[in-house]
């Protein structure tokens, strides 16, 4: 798979995950985050990992695209603790 197909999967707002197994960024391995922008080069994206406040710039080779979660009823995922009036 080439970088163009990975870049096509990672657009702003898409979910991604740091690859596991490697020597670099061991504290981030397996973490999931959201793409918030692109770096000046086409080989990197800006990602805010879950639980972090600031984005990090990472090369596309370190990331995997995560498919969006779909609820069994086909609707958007529910947020626990949120109540809506009808």
Least confident of 13-17, 23-27, 57-61: 23-27
Are the beta carbons of 13 and 34 closer than 8 angstroms? yes
In the prediction, which pLDDT does 69 show?
72
- Give the tens place of pLDDT for each residue, 28-85: 888 999 999 999 988 999 999 999 999 999 999 999 998 877 666 666 555 444 444 5
**Alpha carbon 59 to its chain's center:** 13
SS3 (DSSP) at 24: coil
- Give the tens place of pLDDT for each residue, 1-14: 454 444 457 899 99
CA distance 31 to 8: 21
In the prediction, which pLDDT does 75 show?
60
Residues near 42 by beta carbon (within 8 Å), at least 6 away in sequence? 3, 7
List of domains in the chain? 3-65 (2.30.30.30)
């Amino acid at each position: 798979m080439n970088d163009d197909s990975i870049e096509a999967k990672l657009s702003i707002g898409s979910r991604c995950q740091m690859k596991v197994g490697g020597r670099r960024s061991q504290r981030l391995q397996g973490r999931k985050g959201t793409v918030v922008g692109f770096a000046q080069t086409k080989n990197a994206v800006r990602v805010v990992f879950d639980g972090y406040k600031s984005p990090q710039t990472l090369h596309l080779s370190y990331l995997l695209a995560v498919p969006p979660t779909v609820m069994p009823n086909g609707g958007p995922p529910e947020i626990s603790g949120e109540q809506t009036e009808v």
